[in-house]
Amino acid sequence: ISNDKSIDGVKDSIKLEDNVKINNFYNYSVSNGADAKYERNNSNVIEMGLSLPNKDSFLVYKTEVIVLQDTSYAISDISGLPDNLEYEINNYDIGSKICDDKDSNKCNWGALKEFEITIRYKDLGYKEDNINYDINLNVSFNTFYNIKYEDMLSTGLPLEGIKGRNLVIDFKDDVPEALEIVQNDVILINPDNYTYIDGKLVIFEVDNDIIIKKVVLPKDEDNKGDNKEEIIDKPNNEIPKKEISVEDMTLEEKIGQMIIVSASGKGTSLNNNFKKEISSVKPGGIIVFGDNIASYSQLTKYMNDINSLSDIPLIWSIDQEGGRVQRISKLSDMSVTKIPAMYELGKTNDSALAYDVGRVIGEELGVFGFNMDFAPDLDIWSNASNTVIGNRSFGTNADVVTKMGIAVANGLSSTGVIPVYKHFPGHGDTAGGDAGDSHFLLPKITKSIEELENNELKPFENAINNGAKVIMVSHLDVPALTEQEGIPASLSNKLINGYLKDKMGFNGIVITDSLAMKGITNYYTPQEYLVMAINAGVDILLAPDNPTNAVQIIKQAVLDGRIDETLINKSVTKILKLKKEMNKKRYDKSYLGSNEHKNIINRIK
């Protein structure tokens, strides 16, 4: 290396493809029975094997990063951990410069930065049958861009930022009346490229030097009240839709209305494949997940783009329960209200507070145009080892779950968001671990019908009496209600038509839990479960795999006489009626993380 006088020569000598790389990664310490099995690394990928045998186990790894030349680098992201694990970095902040020595010139040639990464379980992340992990961590490095201000003071404002991330500028009490923001000689557009939040300018995913210019607006009386930002920012969820009846629709169009398509895994913008799928299926609705959510303007545009493809208003659904299930918390540029787990709310036994919490959730969902929330969870946490529900439940007895669950639902309804009561007939008494989780298997409930009626079914009975519009049926084996071993509740004619509808008197919409879950797909083909569900009394099929094929499977079953088309017509009639009751209220983005909402949540002790 001493003979190489250029940076390129140095890079070639030490096998460095870029000006930054992970130089070393090794286990430093373990705690509470944890075990480090192996570590390997290359320029930006860390491979490791580890064991975390109990919920308090953790490991600490030493990490070395080399930076060459005078280019400023930062770690912008570390990804690849399983969903139930988390990391913490000591001696380094994500997004800060790896070499930032302002008092000498050592960064001109580079530096070696050492820091520690601790890996542990998230809250409720521990599962006793899943303690060994093989992990590939991807470390993203990025350089910095410069920020130039024109016609305005820059004192206290950032002069650079890391590429690929949102830039947040806090003007404090000196917010410019109007700005022009230029990147790559292109003027950025509000809200596609930036927005304002509580006096802060947020510019999305900056990737090059930018210029921020103060613009002086003309003092013209005609401009009073002209707030272009609010007009542009407002989610376009009230696109005029034509009135349509079942008689006007083809068989395929009717089947499409019975399907809610999953957006999971399909990105944060409307790509061509998803566009083709929506145009082909003409679904009744979309379910949005955390991986579809990046920022306010992104999510607003994403939903508007999809809305434009549908002649019939869409059901926009999401899981926003609180605790570990709250999808819109993925917004990177907006501070949304963080809702505690419903078990914490249940401990207050305050139904007025529960109503307000439901209203908070609904108002913040209404900012984007979501009109259906897969909440509240009416499962009773009667098995302490049950983890799939756990603290998602309001409590361990029927009275608390009924009182608090219905109150949250009423709060949601007051905002125009349809609550979906789940997971009928009750998922809170299944076993711990994967054996009791319908995401992985078909759990079994062995209680008698009398035991179920005295406990699990009570909250749903009260919800029906309270005017429930939608109930989600789970993938559970409940022989006392299905009168058959091994058939999921979501596919059982005895349970849905015979018990839920006929005996309990529910005349609203029945929706399945996700049809991508292994509690269904491990045991049935799409040709089987789609036909069984509709014949059992299901109105909406949630997230079937390959919805385009699902439409054709159901169509063929109707043509073959295996499904009576009158069942399709009855379901679509109910769905269209529900849609007329949606989209009644709208909320602007000031509701997100508002002080009023935070004060309500702070009442949960």
DSSP string, 402-418: HHHHHHHHHHHHHTTPE
Picking from 5-14, 78-87, 90-99, which range would have the lowest pLDDT averaged per residue? 5-14
* DSSP state letter for 287: E
With 70 as the cut, is the pLDDT of residue 221 above it? no
Domain layout of the chain by residue ranges:
7-142, 151-222, 257-591
Give the separation between CA 542 and CA 286, rounded to whole angstroms.
9
* Rg over CA atoms, the chain: 27
Picking from 199-208, 217-226, 370-379, which range would have the lowest pLDDT averaged per residue? 217-226
Question: Which neighbouring-strand residues pair with 553?
Answer: none
- Whole-angstrom CA distances from 506 to 219, 400, 468, 496, 502 are 61, 22, 8, 9, 7
216 confidence band (pLDDT: 50, 70, 90): low
Q: What is the mean pLDDT of residues 73-97?
A: 83
The alpha carbon of residue 257 and the mean position of all alpha carbons in its chain are separated, in whole angstroms, by 23
With 90 as the cut, is the pLDDT of residue 555 above it? yes
With 60 as the cut, is the pLDDT of residue 242 above it? no
Higher pLDDT, 354 or 83: 354
Question: With 0-12 CB in 10 A as exposed, 13-18 as middle and 19+ as buried, what is 490?
Answer: buried
Give the separation between CA 258 and CA 571, rounded to whole angstroms.
7
Count of positions (residues) in the chain: 605
Question: Catalytic one among 350, 437, 513, 539?
Answer: 513
Q: What is the mean pLDDT of residues 565-578?
A: 96
**Is residue 513 annotated as part of the catalytic site, yes or no?**
yes
pLDDT at 437 (0 to 100): 85
197 confidence band (pLDDT: 50, 70, 90): low
Q: What is the mean pLDDT of residues 235-263?
A: 81
Whether the CB-CB separation of 215 and 178 falls below 8 Å is answered with: yes
String of DSSP letters for 111-132: EEEEEEEEEEEPTT---TT--E
Whether the CB-CB separation of 469 and 418 falls below 8 Å is answered with: yes
* Highest-scoring range by mean pLDDT, 90-94, 222-226, 383-387: 383-387
CA angle 560, 566, 572 (to 5 degrees): 115
Higher pLDDT, 515 or 115: 515
583 confidence band (pLDDT: 50, 70, 90): low
String of DSSP letters for 57-89: -EEEEEEEEEEETT--EEEEEEE---TTEEEEE
Q: SS3 of 441, please?
A: coil
* Per-residue pLDDT tens over the stretch 488-521: 999 999 999 999 999 999 999 999 999 999 999 9
* Per-residue pLDDT tens over the stretch 448-467: 999 999 999 999 999 999 99
Whether the CB-CB separation of 267 and 292 falls below 8 Å is answered with: yes
E strand intervals along 91-231:
110-121, 132-150, 160-162, 165-170, 179-183, 186-187, 194-197, 200-206, 210-214
Percent of the chain scoring above 70 in pLDDT: 87
* Highest-scoring range by mean pLDDT, 37-51, 68-82, 229-243: 37-51
Higher pLDDT, 72 or 115: 115
Whether the CB-CB separation of 67 and 98 falls below 8 Å is answered with: yes
Give the separation between CA 350 and CA 354, rounded to whole angstroms.
6
Picking from 16-25, 99-108, 289-298, 343-352, which range would have the lowest pLDDT averaged per residue? 99-108
pLDDT at 143 (0 to 100): 82
Percent of the chain scoring above 90 in pLDDT: 57
pLDDT at 222 (0 to 100): 40
pLDDT at 366 (0 to 100): 93
Whether the CB-CB separation of 74 and 142 falls below 8 Å is answered with: yes
Picking from 30-34, 155-159, 520-524, which range would have the lowest pLDDT averaged per residue? 155-159
* Closest by Cα among 211, 111, 210 to 165: 210
Whether the CB-CB separation of 274 and 588 falls below 8 Å is answered with: no
160 confidence band (pLDDT: 50, 70, 90): confident
Alpha helices in 283-419 (DSSP H): 296-307, 342-348, 351-366, 398-414
588 confidence band (pLDDT: 50, 70, 90): confident
177 confidence band (pLDDT: 50, 70, 90): low
pLDDT at 180 (0 to 100): 83
**Is residue 439 annotated as part of the catalytic site, yes or no?**
yes
* Closest by Cα among 510, 518, 508, 514 to 492: 510
Whether the CB-CB separation of 216 and 153 falls below 8 Å is answered with: no
Q: What is the mean pLDDT of residues 241-254?
A: 84
Predicted TM-score (pTM) of the model is: 0.64
User: What are the phi and psi torsion angles at 263 (to 5°)?
Assistant: -90, -5
Mean pLDDT over each residue of the chain, to the nearest integer: 86
pLDDT at 191 (0 to 100): 57
For the structural domain made of 257-591, what CATH number should be given?
Answer: 3.20.20.300
pLDDT at 101 (0 to 100): 60
Question: Catalytic one among 4, 151, 399, 439?
Answer: 439
Give just the sign of the alpha carbon dihedral 404, 465, 315, 568. positive
Picking from 101-115, 206-220, 397-411, 446-460, which range would have the lowest pLDDT averaged per residue? 101-115
pLDDT at 364 (0 to 100): 95
- Structure tokens belonging to residue 461: 């009975």
pLDDT at 18 (0 to 100): 59
The alpha carbon of residue 288 and the mean position of all alpha carbons in its chain are separated, in whole angstroms, by 7
Q: What is the mean pLDDT of residues 84-109?
A: 73
* Closest by Cα among 397, 392, 390, 488 to 431: 390
Give the separation between CA 311 and CA 550, rounded to whole angstroms.
21
Other C-beta atoms closer than 10 Å to the C-beta of 584 total 11
